[in-house]
Amino acid sequence: MWINLLNNSIKFTPVRGTIRIEAGKNNHLITVSITDNGIGIPEEERADIFKPFHKVDKSRDPSVKGNGLGLSIVKKIIDLHTGDIQVSGAPGTGSTFTVTLPQSIKS
């Protein structure tokens, strides 16, 4: 899950771009945000990016590989851990993927 999110940030961020990772804990929730200053995701596409085989930029450079499965797998893993994933940002300014997961509580 983390590798996919980081690989996407790297893949869609220009050379000498910026990727920032932040993590925090609030009550029993862990939040991790991965922010880049890459191509961004249009708001109208955000509802579909977690569907299998969905690609935001269908005309993108063919050297950028991908089959559209990564984010659907990420979403499934997060759902299995009763977590949540949100995406924000704008085309041309980058994206932020924020993952919230419950903290494991040991007895």
**What pLDDT digit, counting tens, does each position of 22-78 carry?**
999 998 999 999 999 999 988 888 888 888 776 665 444 555 555 668 899 999 999
Of the candidates 45, 51, 36, the residue with the CA atom closest to the CA atom of residue 98: 36
Band (pLDDT 50/70/90 cuts) for residue 79 is very high
Q: Which has more confidence, 107 or 80?
A: 80
pLDDT of residue 45: 85
pLDDT of residue 44: 87
pTM of the model: 0.84
What is the full DSSP assignment across the chain? -HHHHHHHHHHTS-TT--EEEEEEEETTEEEEEEEE-SS---GGGTTTTTSTT--S-TTS-TTS---S-HHHHHHHHHHHTT-EEEEEEETTTEEEEEEEEEPP---
Tokens representing residue 36 in the block = 């880049």
pLDDT of residue 84: 97
